Amino acid sequence: MAEVKRAAITAVGHYLPDNKLTNHDLEQMVDTNDEWIQTRTGIKERRILKDDDKATAFMGAEAAKEALDERGISADEIDVIICATVTPDYLFPATACLIQSKIGASNAYAFDLSAACSGFLFALSTGGNFIESGRAQKVLVIGADKMSSIVDYTDRSTCILFGDGAGAVLLEASEDGNGIVDYINRSEGDTGLALYQPAGGSLNPATEESVADRLHYAKQDGRTVFKKATVGMADVSAEIMKKNDLTADDISYLVPHQANLRIIDATANRMGLDSEKVMVNINKYGNTTAATIPLCLFDWKSKLEKGDNLILAAFGGGYTWGAIYLKWGM
């Protein structure tokens, strides 16, 4: 009897800008210091896209090209492109459509998905559904954000957290049991607006006042979001393990969203995982929002073996959170 068809990751690509913004650089910009930042977040430096003529679509396209090159296929074989981002080049057209043009994926249709730091997880589960249903054969899932475009570098509570980057994976059907086994996605409307961008949408369109009041930058009630994220990410990770009868010994790696090292540690502890089973690169890149999880997969891909059990977990604005259980397909 044939195995169930699953959506497996068959290639991974990434893009990181060359320019580094270190904690010592931030010491010259706002009232903060390296020890404080590292102790509370685990971040040492982050990458910043400085080019005025480049944004999220550029980074996403570069990551996608690398994934296609690794797989050895041309872009016109792609059926669907999903780009998770909260920093689109424009409100419309979709950043995914710009990426489609940049890579020459003439046969694909493309759309953006907005779920903040959970965006890549939501996009990956969505892409997986296209593969499992047979509606698509090859799906590019991209997480890309130019967070520096919405970060207020006079606000020490947020500017220390974020960086720019992109990651991309190719999904294809697998019949060897590898691929996405299960996922749990959750949302809870953040009516208190603990994490949001106040202006630029249809409720508060851009005005001279909104710009002067710095309302087009990301705002965060750090304590509220930290508490929600710590509980949400840990709970959903434990839940997907229980649902699939997995123990800590069964897990090869936790692939967590890189928002805060303390949140990552809390999730790993709840799962019963030792630190060597947890992917952490927040020290190098900061929080790249939708790009963190695929950037982890890229950094660790040489250590991964076919069939490895991975738990991907994230929490983000919305609120949105979730976990994916997948068997590595490369």
pLDDT in tens, 178-217: 999 999 999 999 999 999 999 999 999 999 999 999 999 9
* 98 vs 96: CA distance, rounded Å: 5
**In the 3-class helix/strand/coil scheme, how is 170-224 assigned residue by residue?**
EEEEECCCCEEEEEEEEECCCCCCCEECCCCCCCCCCCHHHHHCCCCCCEECHHH
Span 122-131, average pLDDT: 98
- The answer to whether 230 and 264 have CB atoms below 8 angstroms apart is no
The yes-or-no answer on residue 216 being catalytic is no
Cα separation, 254 vs 256, whole angstroms: 6
Query: What is the pLDDT averaged over residues 5-31?
Result: 98
Rg (CA), the chain: 19
80: pLDDT strictly greater than 50: yes
Cα-flanking dihedrals φ and ψ of residue 98, to 5°?
-65, -40
Select which of 97, 159, 257, 296 is catalytic: 257
128 three-state secondary structure = helix
Half-sphere exposure of 12 (CA within 13 A, CB side): 20
**How far is Cα 56 from Cα 61, in angstroms, rounded to an integer?**
9
| Cβ-based neighbours of 197, under 8 Å, separated by 6 or more | 86, 150, 215, 216, 217, 218, 219
Give yes or no: 287 in active site.
yes
Residue 279 has pLDDT above 90, yes or no: yes
Calpha distance 222→288 (Å, rounded):
17
How many whole angstroms separate alpha carbon 143 and alpha carbon 292?
A: 8
Global pTM value = 0.98
Q: How far apart are CA 215 and CA 193, in angstroms?
A: 13
Question: Which of 119, 113, 117 lies closest to 225 in space, CA to CA?
Answer: 117
Please report the DSSP string for 275-313 in residue order: GGGB---HHHH-B-GGGHHHHHHHHHGGG--TT-EEEEE
Average pLDDT of the segment spanning 67-88: 98
The contacts found for 22-25 with CB under 8 angstroms, 24 or more apart, are: 23/160
Which of 23, 83, 97, 117 is the catalytic position? Answer: 117
Q: Starting at the earlier edge strand, list the strands of the sheet with 80-84.
A: 6-15, 164-174, 138-146, 80-84, 109-113
Residue located via tokens 């630190």: 275
Q: Give per-residue burial for 147-160: e unless 16+ CB within 10 Å, then b.
A: bbbbbbeeeeebbb
Is 257 annotated as catalytic? Answer: yes
Segment 217-229 shows an average pLDDT of 97
Among 23, 178, 260, 287, the active-site one is 287
* pLDDT at position 1 over 50: no
Specify the pLDDT at position 25.
98
CA pair distance 149, 49, nearest whole angstrom: 9
pLDDT surpassing 80 at residue 160: yes
The mean predicted confidence, pLDDT, of the chain is 97
With a cut of 50, say whether residue 289 has pLDDT above it. Answer: yes
**Nearest Cα to Cα of residue 260 among 183, 160, 187:** 160
